[in-house]
């Protein structure tokens, strides 16, 4: 196997050629030959590296990531001497890193460790050379040059990396099963469906650091023995799709995807496929059905995708973040990786903090960090000085955890034992003004809507639960509703085929467990303690505070508010739909809920 220590990628942009790129390349080949480096350093043409106008002629040395610019045949000699013989970069001809900033991702806070989010906002995702400059594709070079597929799998097993898509299955184990499956061809699939409302970690990685996912997938493909990969991305993420397509094209141009990658004889290519707005397609068997061009309905497992997946062939499927971990583990080593995290869950996890927390946005913490550290130390606590009520993790299949659980470490086992799940990383913080019965109703509306309808308990059971919760929120609940809800929940869990049905009751079970007092207030007292459920509240304007500014009347969607300018306004409760807009727009806190 020919294996080059380095590859020099020379830009063949017409502008660069005009400025003498061909002479530069000729000189480069001569200089390398002169120093007996032709066997060690490969010279390749690529369409473009940096900006041809300001930087050409230029070339990029891979895997070092050094980008040399504004070259002439005369400068090539010193660069070869310094870079390849003496092993140091020649600063005077090197491009400076571009500064790209990202508004959705602030500076890392104390207690955060950024590995997956490390490059985001720092590199230009549409320029592969930026990724290469931060050690990108070095892990791939190491794997293809020095490691057997078995060694790669062993490394991932030893790293204790677990799937970041929700269930937390050991990634090395999955790869091992796919490698051992006798059938061919094999496929490598990336789950970029990120359907949990409130979660956008995967989007950020795809838009901000797409090559880390491509590199992880390629390493996995080598380990498993796959030659074709698919990234299934939800249609709601058009920018992620286009960024990925650019990244794939550039990786092909650089010989990092396609035939004979880095001269190793290994072939692998990736295509992006788009979803079309079905949450259940995040479930792996449904996702594969969707790539095949079918309705995205889950099927019974086993057989697992590792033995029978896409088109009936062995298929490995992992989440975006799972793949993005892989190059880092290979490059920085097990000792480094396993120093982060808790006993059974190593490494870091990204979370999307949203809801009533002061600092919303993406964060990344070592597994085992407590909920309190995340919400208070990193998230800055609850907005507007209100009280914390619950945190929802794991999306529609997850649960709501109360204040008494705030000191729990976030890892797969602990969250599971507390009645929620890790999920993909959505974390929604709710303050005292949130009605937990209404939240349970909200999630049930979601799962009811997204159930594919294949299993009766999931299709019909979720509808029945939703009806009961709607009834309770409307003040028409009866005491028997509570045992009825419990019974329906356990039936759905038992008799549903896929994780959607099996997890659907979680929001109801967890809110009943921790917030039964709220259910009871709705049922027995016809009262919504958080003052959210519209049938159980009325709005009123306090005359002593109202200045008669008219802003509420102008914003009321149903014209229920009357009053002259500078006179106290009045709400007609017969017309009022209790949307709460008036309370939100009033600058004088004159609107109150009773």
Partner 1 sequence: MTLTPNQLDPLDNPRMREVIDSTISEFGDQNGALMVILNHLQERIGFITKPMQAYVAEKLNVPVSKVHGVVSFYSFFTTEPRGKHLVKFCIGTACYVGGASQLIDKAKQVLGIEPGQTTSDGLITLEVCRCVGACSQAPVVVIDEVNHGRVRPSQFARILTEVQKSEVAP
Of 26-34, 206-214, 340-348, 445-453, the segment contacting ligand SF4 by CB under 6 A is 445-453
Assess contact for 171 and 162: CB atoms under 8 A. yes
Residue 194 sits in the site that holds ligand FMN (CB under 6 A): yes
Residue 354 sits in the site that holds partner 1 (CB under 8 A): yes
Size of the site for ligand FMN (CB under 6 A): 22
Q: How far is the CB of 139 from ligand SF4 (least distance, A)?
A: 36
Give the residue with the Cβ less far from ligand FES, 196 or 215: 196
Helix axes of 462-473 and 481-495: crossing angle, nearest 10 degrees: 160
Of ligand FES, ligand FMN, partner 1, none, which one sits near residue 498, judging by CB under 5 to 8 A according to partner kind? Answer: ligand FMN
Q: How far is the CB of 442 from partner 1 (least distance, A)?
A: 6
Q: Are strands 315-319 and 187-192 parallel, antiparallel or unpaired?
A: parallel
The span from the CA of 579 to the CA of 384, in Å, is 21
In three-state secondary structure terms, 348 is strand
The span from the CA of 187 to the CA of 113, in Å, is 32
Of 29-37, 73-81, 102-110, 498-506, the segment contacting ligand FMN by CB under 6 A is 498-506
Size of the site for partner 1 (CB under 8 A): 58
Of 4-12, 187-195, 373-381, 577-585, the segment contacting ligand FMN by CB under 6 A is 187-195
Give the residue with the Cβ less far from ligand FES, 304 or 442: 442
Residue 585 sits in the site that holds partner 1 (CB under 8 A): yes
Task: Using alpha carbons, select from 267, 187, 260, 202 the residue that is nearest to residue 233.
Answer: 202
Q: How far is the CB of 428 from ligand FES (least distance, A)?
A: 9
The span from the CA of 85 to the CA of 37, in Å, is 9
Per CB under 6 A, the list member of 331, 497, 509, 576 interacting with ligand SF4 is 497
Per CB under 8 A, the list member of 555, 570, 592, 593 interacting with partner 1 is 555
Q: How far is the CB of 202 from partner 1 (least distance, A)?
A: 8
Residue with tokens 């794991």: 394
Residue window 286-325: x/- pattern of binding to ligand SF4, with contact defined by CB under 6 A: ------------x---------------------------
Distance of CA 407 to the CA centre of its chain: 25
Phi/psi for 548 (5° steps) reads 70, 35
Give the residue with the Cβ less far from partner 1, 141 or 281: 281
The tokens describing 136, both together, are 């990108």
* Helix, strand, coil in percent for the chain, rounding step 5: 45, 15, 40
Residues in CB range of 256: below 8 A, 6 or more apart: 128, 137, 140, 214, 215, 218, 262
- Quick one: residue 583, left, alpha or beta (phi over 0 = left, psi -120 to 50 = alpha)? alpha
Residue 459 sits in the site that holds ligand SF4 (CB under 6 A): yes
Of partner 1, ligand FES, ligand SF4, none, which one sits near residue 324, judging by CB under 5 to 8 A according to partner kind? Answer: none
Cβ count near 199 (within 10 Å) = 23
Give the residue with the Cβ less far from ligand FES, 59 or 200: 200
The span from the CA of 269 to the CA of 258, in Å, is 5
Give the residue with the Cβ less far from ligand FES, 161 or 363: 363
Phi/psi for 478 (5° steps) reads -125, 155
Per CB under 6 A, the list member of 119, 250, 318, 496 interacting with ligand FMN is 318
Phi/psi for 417 (5° steps) reads -65, -30
Residue 319 sits in the site that holds ligand FMN (CB under 6 A): yes
Phi/psi for 427 (5° steps) reads -140, 105
Residue window 191-220: x/- pattern of binding to ligand FES, with contact defined by CB under 6 A: ------xx----------------------
| Angle CA 460–463–466, to nearest 5 | 155
Assess contact for 129 and 253: CB atoms under 8 A. no
Residue 167 sits in the site that holds ligand FMN (CB under 6 A): yes
What is the DSSP secondary-structure string of 120-177? Answer: TTTS-TT-HHHHHHTTTTHHHHHHHHH--HHHHHHHHHHHT-B-TTSS--BHHHHHHH
Q: How far is the CB of 508 from partner 1 (least distance, A)?
A: 15
Per CB under 6 A, the list member of 458, 489, 521, 560 interacting with ligand SF4 is 458
In three-state secondary structure terms, 429 is strand
The span from the CA of 499 to the CA of 496, in Å, is 8
Cβ count near 531 (within 10 Å) = 20
Q: How far is the CB of 465 from ligand FES (least distance, A)?
A: 22
Q: How far is the CB of 500 from ligand FES (least distance, A)?
A: 18
Of partner 1, ligand SF4, ligand FMN, none, which one sits near residue 311, judging by CB under 5 to 8 A according to partner kind? Answer: partner 1
Residue window 157-176: x/- pattern of binding to ligand FES, with contact defined by CB under 6 A: --------------------
Which parts of this chain interact with ligand FMN (CB under 6 A)?
A: 163-167, 169, 191, 193-195, 280, 282-284, 317-319, 322, 424, 498-500
Which parts of this chain interact with ligand FES (CB under 6 A)?
A: 197-198
Which parts of this chain interact with ligand SF4 (CB under 6 A)?
A: 280, 298, 451-455, 458-459, 496-498, 500-501
């Amino acid at each position: 196997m020919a294996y080059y220590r380095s590859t020099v990628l020379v830009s063949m942009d017409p502008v660069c050629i005009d400025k003498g790129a061909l002479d530069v390349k000729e000189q480069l080949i001569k200089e390398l030959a002169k120093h007996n480096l032709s066997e060690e350093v490969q010279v390749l043409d690529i369409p473009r590296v940096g900006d041809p106008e300001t930087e050409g002629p230029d070339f990029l040395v891979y895997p070092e990531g050094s980008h040399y610019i504004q070259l002439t045949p005369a400068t090539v000699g010193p660069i070869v001497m310094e870079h390849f013989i003496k092993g140091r970069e020649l600063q005077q001809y090197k491009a400076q890193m571009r500064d790209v900033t990202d508004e959705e991702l602030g500076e890392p806070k104390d207690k955060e460790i950024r590995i997956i989010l490390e490059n985001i906002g720092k590199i230009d995702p549409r320029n592969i050379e930026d990724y290469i400059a931060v050690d990108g594709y070095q892990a791939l070079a190491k794997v293809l040059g020095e490691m057997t597929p078995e060694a790669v799998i062993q490394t991932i097993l030893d790293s204790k990396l677990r799937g970041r898509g929700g269930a937390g299955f050991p990634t090395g184990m999955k790869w091992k099963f796919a490698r051992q499956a006798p059938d061919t061809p094999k496929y490598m699939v990336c789950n970029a469906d990120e359907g949990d409302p409130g979660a956008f970690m995967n989007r950020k990685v795809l838009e901000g650091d797409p090559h880390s996912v491509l590199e992880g997938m390629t390493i996995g493909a080598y380990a498993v023995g796959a030659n074709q990969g698919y990234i299934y991305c939800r249609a709601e993420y058009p920018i992620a799709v286009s960024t990925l397509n650019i990244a794939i094209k550039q990786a092909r141009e650089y010989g990092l995807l396609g035939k004979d990658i880095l001269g190793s004889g290994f072939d692998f290519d990736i295509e992006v496929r788009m979803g079309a707005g079905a949450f259940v397609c995040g479930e792996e068997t449904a996702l594969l059905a969707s790539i095949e061009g079918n309705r995205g309905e889950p099927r019974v497992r086993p057989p697992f995708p590792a033995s029978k997946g896409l088109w009936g062939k062995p298929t490995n499927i992992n989440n975006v973040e799972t793949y993005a971990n892989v190059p880092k583990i290979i490059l920085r080593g097990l000792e480094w990786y396993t120093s982060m995290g808790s006993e059974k869950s190593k490494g870091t996890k990204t979370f999307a903090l949203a809801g009533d927390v002061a600092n919303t946005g993406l964060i990344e913490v070592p597994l085992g960090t407590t909920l309190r550290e995340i919400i208070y130390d990193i998230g800055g606590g609850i907005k507007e000085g209100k009280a914390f009520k619950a945190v929802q993790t794991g999306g529609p299949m997850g649960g709501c955890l109360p204040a008494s659980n705030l000191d729990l470490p976030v890892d797969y086992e602990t969250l599971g034992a507390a009645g929620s799940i890790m999920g993909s990383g959505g974390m929604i913080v709710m303050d005292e003004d949130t009605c937990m019965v209404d939240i349970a109703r909200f999630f049930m509306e979601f799962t009811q809507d997204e159930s594919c309808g294949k299993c009766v308990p999931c299709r019909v059971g979720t509808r029945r639960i939703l009806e009961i919760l709607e009834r309770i929120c409307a003040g028409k609940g009866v005491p028997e509703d509570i045992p009825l809800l419990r019974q329906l929940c356990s039936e759905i869990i038992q008799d549903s085929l896929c994780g959607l049905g099996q997890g659907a009751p979680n929001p109801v079970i967890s809110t009943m467990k921790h917030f039964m007092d709220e259910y009871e207030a709705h049922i027995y007292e016809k009262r919504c303690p958080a003052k959210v459920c519209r049938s159980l509240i009325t709005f009123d304007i306090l005359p002593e505070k109202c200045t008669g500014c008219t802003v509420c009347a102008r914003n009321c969607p149903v014209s229920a508010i009357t009053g002259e300018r500078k006179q106290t306004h009045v709400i007609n409760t017969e017309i009022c739909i209790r949307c709460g807009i008036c309370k939100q727009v009033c600058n004088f806190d004159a609107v109150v809920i009773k």
